[in-house]
A and B are shown apart, each in its own frame.
Chain A
């Protein structure tokens, strides 16, 4: 899957969780939770939905590694190879 496609999926899930925000405006190095004002439960739902859409499972202990758009996309693309 291309980076752009992953991004699109990420933005769409985040928008559903936090419709008051514009996930597509997230800068690559911005902390997703802090910038969008989502809590730990929201973030958990985000990753669970992302897992479903990408048909994979991100272990929960790795959540600390995927706090920004760039770290998340890197994580996903590297782990997909």
Chain B
């Protein structure tokens, strides 16, 4: 039976939208104790009609799978909340995870939210340096990880992390010290019942790290009422209906994998598929078929890989259940949207949002005409505009097709509340009530947004932000490196690849051995998701007169583009 899309008439929904009305569609904690993400995503379903619905189906690498119904997930997450209580963790303390897409990660996330601790996921592909940066800045009290990741990436950092009280390993049976504990043993001993404490709308819930142009990564803090955005985007953009099977391919180490790999499908009571394995075309198409996926939320990197292959999925697989395909991470090109139409019989619906916005902000909706290559239109309830920024003053552009800064008016539930311990950095992102996204865009005459590019030097690789400064700082620690500058070099599959320009110390010969040594050092310290994929030796790094690295000039040279105004270039 065809399911009627929740968003039938965009204009009328937008005109009548209020967050207060949406809040009434959620339950709130019993006895008016507030709003808690874990209650809305798990507990309320566990005592209602969805109690036997599968909440998450974990597909292991060997294709076997493990299912958690909403009632089972309630028990597991309550147990983990009791584990935190047993360990003496306080409300607002940070609980970090560093793991692949295994059940323990999801139990940790929801259990920590239930306990009113703050959950912070780390991407398991990070090397020790990004892990150290993030755990230090977030002052983690608890880290949940696997023995292998602990041995390889965390063990050597322990002395630098004195505030980290407990490390819970998911795959050991016995505690090995008073600090390194067995996740399963603690869970076995924990009570199945947990009473969620008072949770205020503005209580901190989630911490995600994202990269900035300058300085080290920023800890983006979200609050419990962000769940309203997760809920309504699940309804209006992902169009969740009871019985739906949803697959978000993102890793919870990044915000999409948490907002849409955990919270949004669960708050809407559908079944979420989690695949432990990495991208593999045949495996992915098989999952869509075997698990009867209805809604598939993926990324341009994967779509481009699939486009390269000589497979006709509609012929080779039974994809009759597939109703919607969506994408986020970086803008989809028109031909990628059209490829979806040709290949699956439906356009791939692009949408736009950031770690800071916590949920989808601009989207293409299945019930609205899709203009291939466009970001779509703002989510009802969110005000988005294009503006000029001059001398710290913001002026909205009302005429169509004029490029400017993409700005969002704060006031929606999932807008971040601060950069942890960096209030000044947070304030710099706003002019009045307008949040400056750092992206450039334009609006056409029909109200569709079109992405132009970044307003800064942040690199977007495989859909993830990488801060050039973070990479440069690590490279400078190599014994042969005098200076480094890092840019995003356009690359057809992953958007941009991290490329480093390096000035060697005097007397060091620029040869392949040195290059490989630096490359190896960078990968060991930062991991393959952040480390440069390309290194080029140069004589000097171009800088402004005030000493700021001119990454744009390096990028222009790399692309063979005009170098622009060089009047601020250092002349010495």
Query: Separation in Å of the B438 CB from the closest CB of chain A?
Result: 24
CB of B523 within 8 A of CB of A19, answer yes
Q: State which residues 1-49 of A face B: CB under 8 Å.
A: 15-16, 18-21, 33, 37-42, 44-45
Chain B 516-544 near chain A by CB (<8 Å), digits 1 or 0: 11011101100111000100000000000
CB of A20 within 8 A of CB of B309, answer no
CB of A18 within 8 A of CB of B529, answer no
Residues of chain A within 8 A of B125, CB atoms compared = 37, 39
B517 interface neighbour in A19, A33, A60, A61, Cβ under 8 Å: A19
Contact of B494 with A by CB under 8 A: yes
B309 interface neighbour in A39, A41, A61, Cβ under 8 Å: A61
A61 and B310 in contact (CB under 8 A), knowing A37-B528, A41-B494?
yes
A59 and B493 in contact (CB under 8 A), knowing A16-B516, A40-B278?
no
Query: Separation in Å of the A72 CB from the closest CB of chain B?
Result: 14
Contact of B311 with A by CB under 8 A: yes
Contact of B279 with A by CB under 8 A: yes
Query: Separation in Å of the B550 CB from the closest CB of chain A?
Result: 27
CB of A60 within 8 A of CB of B524, answer no
Residues of chain A within 8 A of B309, CB atoms compared = 59-61
In the complex, what residue of chain B is closest to A67 when comparing beta carbons?
B280
CB of B519 within 8 A of CB of A39, answer no
Report how many residues on chain B are interfacial, defined by Cβ distance under 8 Å. Answer: 28
Query: Separation in Å of the B531 CB from the closest CB of chain A?
Result: 9
CB of B527 within 8 A of CB of A37, answer yes
Query: Separation in Å of the A33 CB from the closest CB of chain B?
Result: 7
Contact of B354 with A by CB under 8 A: no
CB of B523 within 8 A of CB of A64, answer no
In the complex, what residue of chain B is closest to A15 when comparing beta carbons?
B516
CB of B311 within 8 A of CB of A39, answer no
A19 and B519 in contact (CB under 8 A), knowing A39-B528, A44-B493, A61-B310?
yes
Bound complex: CA A16 to CA B516 (Å) = 7
Residues of chain A within 8 A of B301, CB atoms compared = 40
B311 interface neighbour in A15, A42, A61, Cβ under 8 Å: A61
Residues of chain B within 8 A of A61, CB atoms compared = 281-282, 309-311
Query: Separation in Å of the A10 CB from the closest CB of chain B?
Result: 17
Q: State which residues 303-344 of B face A: CB under 8 Å.
A: 305, 308-311
CB of B308 within 8 A of CB of A60, answer yes
Contact of B421 with A by CB under 8 A: no
Contact of B497 with A by CB under 8 A: yes
Bound complex: CA A63 to CA B283 (Å) = 10
Residues of chain A within 8 A of B519, CB atoms compared = 19-20
Bound complex: CA A39 to CA B302 (Å) = 13
A42 and B282 in contact (CB under 8 A), knowing A37-B523, A61-B311?
no
Contact of B200 with A by CB under 8 A: no
Residues of chain A within 8 A of B524, CB atoms compared = 20
Bound complex: CA A40 to CA B280 (Å) = 9
Bound complex: CA A16 to CA B281 (Å) = 26
Residues of chain A within 8 A of B418, CB atoms compared = none
CB of B280 within 8 A of CB of A38, answer no
Residues of chain A within 8 A of B305, CB atoms compared = 40, 44, 60
CB of B280 within 8 A of CB of A64, answer yes
Contact of B213 with A by CB under 8 A: no
Residues of chain A within 8 A of B133, CB atoms compared = none
CB of B281 within 8 A of CB of A60, answer yes
A20 and B520 in contact (CB under 8 A), knowing A37-B527, A39-B528?
yes
Bound complex: CA A37 to CA B521 (Å) = 13
Residues of chain B within 8 A of A38, CB atoms compared = 528
Bound complex: CA A59 to CA B494 (Å) = 19
Contact of B184 with A by CB under 8 A: no
In the complex, what residue of chain A is closest to B525 when comparing beta carbons?
A20
Bound complex: CA A58 to CA B524 (Å) = 29
CB of A19 within 8 A of CB of B529, answer no
Which 3 A-B residue pairings sit nearest by Cβ, starting from the closest? A19-B520, A20-B520, A19-B516
Q: What are 11 sample pairs from A and B whose C-beta atoms fall under 8 A apart?
A: A20-B519, A38-B528, A39-B125, A40-B305, A41-B462, A41-B497, A59-B309, A61-B281, A61-B309, A61-B311, A63-B281
- Residues of B at the A interface (CB closer than 8 Å) are 125, 278-283, 301, 305, 308-311, 462, 493-494, 497, 516-517, 519-521, 523-524, 527-529, 533
Known contacts A18-B528, A61-B281; can you find 8 more A-B pairs with CB under 8 A?
A37-B125, A40-B305, A41-B497, A44-B493, A60-B309, A61-B309, A61-B311, A64-B280
